[in-house]
Structure 1
Amino acid sequence: MASSWPSDKEPRPGVPAPAWLGMDRETLAPASKLCAGRRGPPPTAEAVSGPRASVDFIQAESFTYPDFFKGYLLPNVPCVFSSAFTQDWGSRKSWVTREGKPNFDHLLGSFGDASVPVANCNVQEYNSNPKEHIPLREYISYWKDYIHGNYSSPKGCLYLKDWHLCRSFPDHQVYTTPVYFSSDWLNEYWDELAVDDYRFVYMGPKGSWTPFHADVFHSYSWSVNICGRKRWLLYPPGQEENLRDYHGNLPYDVTSSALSNIKVYPEYPKCCPAIEVIQEAGEMIFVPSGWHHQVYNLDDTISINHNWMNGCNVATMWRFLQTELCAVQQEIAEWRDTMDDWHQHCQVIMKSCTGIDYKEFYNFLKIIAEKRISLLEKVPATKPLENICSDNPGLDPHHAAFDLSRIADVLESLITNPDFQKLEIDELSLPPKDLFNHLKEIINAASL
């Protein structure tokens, strides 16, 4: 898999060197201005280009990273790439039979003893499905029996989800992250810490599905079908508000007839129809930031998915964290005056729910910023950014400068946030204001 940053270190096993991500000044200036001006929710498809009933299908081999950046990433709209973009992946050759079915023998021989997370699609647990870990060989045995039983089993419909295969098997080069999705701060950060990632493999029989949700931190996601087909139901940001019940809860299943009961779902008549996408084998879909979705496997399907984020949606992540903290504070508001370190307890609860708290979010911004600063400090002061080029893979200076401008904008908001100020900021390795001031110096020197 490709990571998205230049580094003096050798890539860790299983992570090939990243592709070159170029950005010209004509893209840099309007992109920085557009993102800096966003203070509300992420833009919707309708706000950008009017109502959409479908998504663009990308076929051209000449489609470039700037094309994707300006046409889909910045406006935050989905698209689907043809199978030609993934035809050389090892997994598309070895994980699939000639008939286009999962190659169970190969998977068993390569990963059979691995412990994998499996969800039961027939059981609702809040707005998700309960999971357990079992050996892959046990899951594949179940899957075969499920197929032979005419896609039925007393065990229910089991779906292998969120398997960190490449973290567990770094020597297996099963795919390479497409260049369009390589500016990935989320996995860049976790790779630096070497403790986690947001790269997953999904495997499931026909009929397995994922309930209605938005991705972690309201991040982007991309997904490629190694084999099989998926049906996606996509809702632009804001439409989910029309799907809440009178308690404010989102539905588990947006296809349920229960939503037509306006006494329970009073805003449902205002909701626009879902944007439906049928994703074929080999195709990859880009799901924008904050788009809620529900997904079905129409065949026996294997897919590779990443959650990711970068300068275009880091402000969305920050808004998401503020909303989550507010919800926690409301939940335990009655103990505000009697609980020692109430604000810190709120952070602990938020981290247990979302996976991150305000201090770690700052550390996340700091690590990405330090990498971008390191790159720009190598640029000779006598040369403008547009005259700098490189034969090495990674981010070009324009892209690094854009990233720093986005970090500075969000960091300024974080520093002035009252809840952040109540934390023990002195414990942080680099004072946030010092980092912010250094960022402004670098950005001014880059003439952004």
Structure 2
Amino acid sequence: MLAGSFTIYCEFQIQCREGSKGGGNAKVPVAICNEKEFDSHPKVEQTFSDYLEYWQDYISNSYPSDNQCLYLKDWHFVRAFPEYNAYKTPLYFCSDWLNEFWDTGESSKDDYRFVYMGPKGSWTPFHADVLHSYSWSANICGKKQWLLFPPGEEVHLRDKFGNLAFDVTSEDVHNPEMYPNYQKLSQQYKVVQHPGEIIFVPSGWHHQVWNVEDTISINHNWLNGCSIDLTWNFLKRNLKDVENEISDCRGMEGWNQQCQVVLKSLTGSDYTDFFELCNNIGTKHLQFLSQSDICSTNEECDRGVGHCKIKGSQKEEQKEMTGNTSAEVSQHPNADLEFQEHFVPLNNKCHSVFDLNRLRIVLESLVDTEQLECQKEVQNLLHQLNSVF
């Protein structure tokens, strides 16, 4: 899960008042770490220069416990400064459907690339990442401490009302009357992340993070063909929960649509959004393959550094991992991809075939879903995918 001593290509130099290219006047989201609002910290908006001034004062006063501990987090830096090119995405994380979707066409309103910076003692409460996506976090400077819990362990960190713990290190979780299943907790991992290191958080792993020192980090949420089924299953589980909660209204007109509205409010996506992402990615892969010679049926293809080997026929996915050496990695054709160039499969036809097959499997489940209004579009894309295989 750790990429030790990884040098992220970065010229992320912060200037206190002016910032880069007017960045000092940028509006940034700031969390108040010593307050609680529902299941997170309340947020306020400040200018970047005001936050840096606060941070300097906070350090100068030896991190006073009676002052607010403010954490600049979830700052869409790349979206705010698209020409700055502060860093390059590490090769292993370049196949990124989520940000590719948001970066293109009418969807270019958002992204899941963030800058975090905060003083010693700032922290993020216990949670799992949006849409059960993967995430990676690179420390530019400073040190973080992570507590990570494999999928399933979080059920032992729910209170008697079913709510996740806000702080898994608090004394409250040891109270059996409030957290009756805490004693069943069996697995957790403590990781200290140093400057220049990247941590990869797998799908569905709950975690809590502290800044042990004054820290600046870059964080991405992402998904691709290796995890699209995990996101789809996450949405299905949440929709089932929504349907159970409002089952007394099932006979009312528009019930399915209302369930989708609630689903989106809880997870950040509904079924239509999910299909739009699939359609966006699938269409690009199909266009690429239409201009390339697809692997022959018996040809074994390596879909890239550290990924599964696959057959061109795609009738079965082999789980043998490639054994590329560091020399092979350095010679990989995509090694110098810029941050925005996360569409790695366009340089690897077998990678595209793998991704399309994973997409096809998900769409076969999605096509019969009565909650989806764009059934014809799903059927059309699925027909095109089936023609490849």
TM-score interval, normalised by the smaller of the two chains:
0.7 to 0.9
Aligned to 1:370: 283
Aligned to 1:223: 137
Task: Give the CA deviation at 1:215.
Answer: 0.3
**8 Å CA contact 2:160, 2:179 repeated in 1:** yes
SS at match of 1:294: strand
* Whole-angstrom distance in 1 between the partners of 2:267 and 2:199: 24
Task: Give the CA deviation at 1:334.
Answer: 2.8
Whichever residue aligns with residue 218 of structure 1, its letter is H
**8 Å CA contact 1:108, 1:136 repeated in 2:** no
1:89 pairs with 2:1: no
* Whole-angstrom distance in 2 between the partners of 1:306 and 1:368: 18
Aligned to 1:397: 349
Candidates 62, 75, 91, aligned match of 1:150: 62
* Whole-angstrom distance in 1 between the partners of 2:196 and 2:295: 46
Matches within 5 A, 1:242-257: 242-257=156-171
Q: 1:324 to 1:255 in 2, by over 3 A?
A: same
Deviations 1:415-444 (A, max 9, x none): 123xxx144336xxx5212211221111x2
* Whole-angstrom distance in 1 between the partners of 2:120 and 2:18: 20
Whichever residue aligns with residue 246 of structure 2, its letter is I
What number of residue pairs does the alignment pair up? 348
Candidates 178, 186, 191, aligned match of 1:272: 186
Candidates 405, 421, 424, aligned match of 2:373: 424
Aligned to 2:175: 261
* Whole-angstrom distance in 2 between the partners of 1:346 and 1:172: 41
1:130 pairs with 2:79: no
Matches within 5 A, 1:21-170: 79-86=1-8, 88-91=9-12, 94-95=13-14, 104=16, 107=19, 110-152=22-64, 156-170=68-82
Deviations 1:311-352 (A, max 9, x none): 111111111111222222233333333x43111011112212
* Whole-angstrom distance in 2 between the partners of 1:143 and 1:334: 51
Whichever residue aligns with residue 336 of structure 1, its letter is R
Q: 1:242 to 1:379 in 2, by over 3 A?
A: same
Q: Runs of 5+ in structure 2 lacking a partner? A: 304-331, 338-343
SS at match of 1:112: helix
Aligned to 1:297: 211
Deviations 1:149-180 (A, max 9, x none): 22126551111110001111111121100010
SS at match of 2:138: strand
Aligned to 1:171: 83
Structure scoring higher RCO (CA < 8 A, sep ≥ 6) equals 1
Matches within 5 A, 1:426-441: 431-441=377-387
Deviations 1:189-217 (A, max 9, x none): 11112111100000111000000000000
* Whole-angstrom distance in 2 between the partners of 1:105 and 1:249: 41
Task: Give the CA deviation at 1:184.
Answer: 0.7
Q: 1:314 to 1:143 in 2, by over 3 A?
A: same
SS at match of 1:207: coil
SS at match of 2:178: coil
Q: 1:104 to 1:440 in 2, by over 3 A?
A: same
Aligned to 2:247: 333
Q: Runs of 5+ in structure 1 lacking a partner? A: 1-78, 96-102
SS at match of 1:348: helix
Q: 1:190 to 1:109 in 2, by over 3 A?
A: closer
Candidates 157, 173, 190, aligned match of 2:102: 190
SS at match of 2:208: strand
Task: Give the CA deviation at 1:387.
Answer: 8.6
Task: Give the CA deviation at 1:388.
Answer: 11
Give TM-score, length-normalised by structure 1.
0.73
Deviations 1:92-122 (A, max 9, x none): xx34xxxxxxx64674775110000011111
1:411 pairs with 2:363: yes
SS at match of 1:146: helix
Give TM-score, length-normalised by structure 2.
0.84
Deviations 1:57-114 (A, max 9, x none): xxxxxxxxxxxxxxxxxxxxxx11123432x4212xx34xxxxxxx646747751100
Note the aligned Cα RMSD (angstroms): 2.3
* Whole-angstrom distance in 2 between the partners of 1:253 and 1:391: 44
**8 Å CA contact 2:30, 2:46 repeated in 1:** yes
SS at match of 2:85: coil
